[in-house]
Amino acid sequence: MLDELLVRNLGVISEARFRPSDGLTVISGETGTGKTLLLGAVRLLLGEAPNTDLVGPFGQETVVDGRFRSEEDESVVSRVVPKEGRSASYIDGRLASTATLAERIGSDVAVIGQHDQLSLARPRAVLRLIDDALDDDGVNTLMAYREAWDRLQSLESLRDDLGGDPRALNRELELLAYQTTEIDKAGFEAGDDERLEAAAVRLSNLETLRTGLAQLHQMGGEVADTLGSMISEIRKLGMIDHRLGPTEERLEGLGSEIADLLVVLRDAADNDETGNLGEVEERLTLLGDLKRKYGSTLDDILAYRSEAGERHTRIVALLDRAESLESDLETAREEAKRQAEALTETRARAAESLANEAVKHLGDLGFEDPVMSIALETTEPTASGADRPAIVFASDSRLSAGPIGAASGGELSRLVLSLRLAAGASERTTMIFDEIDAGVGGATALALGEKLARLAQTSQVLCVTHLPQVAAWADRHLVVRRDGAEASVELVEGEERVEELTRMLAGLPDSSPGADAARELLERAVVPRSE
């Protein structure tokens, strides 16, 4: 859900920061103050195409930051829209495409506006509503189908690996056995290439190495003798001038270092090289042959050996399954088909119940005699079943019912609200309604506010509204105010909220009768919201 929104330089909004509640947050304000700009900011975070005309006069770019959180984690999503050039998107500080924004945030946030045809026109979204409305038996049927589908996909994956030709797999198996045996027989381990190359250099220059070490040992001995004389002389002088004490210590330290180096040189010269140059070169030749076949380095060869071994094991398992695989596949197809049919039946019952319950809510929301049904068309099976749902709707029974695309913006918003309430969705999603109250007033407006509050018990709800009957139900009330060419967003509580509701009721924030009516609305809005 949306935890915090920061908007900078969007239209008349220089900078606005607000945190909606987990329940119902309403946004009100005079016409033209920029209320819908906040929803436009959310749309940018959902990956929608930017309108550069909305970049405000307070800078060269519009910046929108949103923090979204769930029970598991949180993400910070940003969108930067310059006056010229392409926009940039970020998720947790890293560049992201708008498609990634839509995938990451859009699945949990719906903005429902006057001109949106929205998710109800998408079969997947309607299917989610139907599945939300399933009873316990229906949920079990859905899970049974998913298990059958996963098993079928697993078996089809095995069949694809077989490639329909066990003989080809047997040939590959023989080749892999030969390759792994060849690499294993060579007996190379990680780092052997570097050790062999170093040994080859030493053995090829063995005489030069021995002669040089002997010369170094002789030269070191001469240096040691000279240092010994210097130490004797400095000791004598130190008895005359005590300031030479540190110099004596340094010379003695050099003498110890030279003595240690002489031991190292002597050991190196006395150490007989036990390697055989011919054997080393033979191993390097073998390594070169393996490199030509399996990789440019020893690490590549060893990695190929590991992969080939795993592939060998998998092919053996596949061949063991080959005889029974077709029979298992046929059984899995039949089971998936049977479970899909059972799921269609239980979804049809849930869809009918969902539509009937939604019609009741629509009646409370100002529709005199609405008509709604959800049809299920059978399609090719997928992970979500073999059903393609479509909503058929008419705002009055005297009208011809048809696709919801014919509904007006206000009707569509109330239709979405009714369906969400009817489904009783348990997922904590965010739903944002832009002026859902179009064409609504009186008792219907009060019922609309109550239903939004009920929806906010299971989903985060934000609503831009002109109606005090709706705003009174809010858990958090934000007001957009405009001062000249600049707008601001403020949280109102206590008497400030009463003043805003009074303005919405009477047009005057200091109207005494209006204030009394506003307080009455607030008192009414504390009625329990759940049935």
> How high is the pLDDT of residue 425?
53
pLDDT tens column, 411-435: 777 787 788 788 765 455 788 887 7
Beta strands, E only, 83-224: 88-91, 94-96, 109-112
Query: How confident is the prediction for the chain on average, in pLDDT?
Result: 84
C-beta contacts of 276-285 below 8 A and 24+ residues apart? 276/203, 277/200, 277/203, 277/204, 280/196, 280/199, 280/200, 280/203, 281/200, 283/192, 283/196, 284/196, 284/197, 284/200
- Asked if 79 contacts 44 with a C-beta cutoff of 8 angstroms, the reply is yes
pLDDT above 80: residue 319: no
pLDDT above 90: residue 8: yes
**Within a domain: residue 352?**
no
**Within a domain: residue 66?**
yes
Region label for 448, one of left (φ > 0), alpha (ψ between -120 and 50) or beta (otherwise): alpha
pLDDT above 60: residue 29: yes
pLDDT tens column, 177-222: 999 999 999 999 999 888 888 878 777 776 676 777 777 777 877 8
The pTM is what?
Answer: 0.59
pLDDT bracket for residue 373 (50, 70, 90): very high
109-112 and 61-69: which strand pairing? unpaired
Q: Tell me the mean pLDDT in the region 385-395.
A: 90
What is the rounded distance in angstroms from the CA atom of residue 489 to the CA atom of residue 462? 14
pLDDT tens column, 77-136: 999 999 888 999 999 989 998 888 888 887 778 777 655 545 677 788 788 889 888 889
**Within a domain: residue 134?**
no
Q: What is the enclosing helix (H) or strand (E) of 41?
A: helix 35-45
The CATH number linked to 491 is: 3.40.50.300
Number of domains in the chain: 1
pLDDT tens column, 455-480: 888 889 999 888 999 999 999 999 99
pLDDT above 50: residue 531: no
**Within a domain: residue 253?**
no
**Within a domain: residue 59?**
yes
**Within a domain: residue 220?**
no
> How high is the pLDDT of residue 117?
47
Q: Supply the range of the domain harboring residue 436.
A: 1-108+427-531
**Within a domain: residue 396?**
no
pLDDT tens column, 233-243: 878 877 887 88
**Within a domain: residue 367?**
no
pLDDT tens column, 484-529: 888 888 999 999 999 999 998 877 777 788 888 899 899 888 755 4
Q: Tell me the mean pLDDT in the region 311-336.
A: 84
What is the rounded distance in angstroms from the CA atom of residue 297 to the CA atom of residue 287? 9
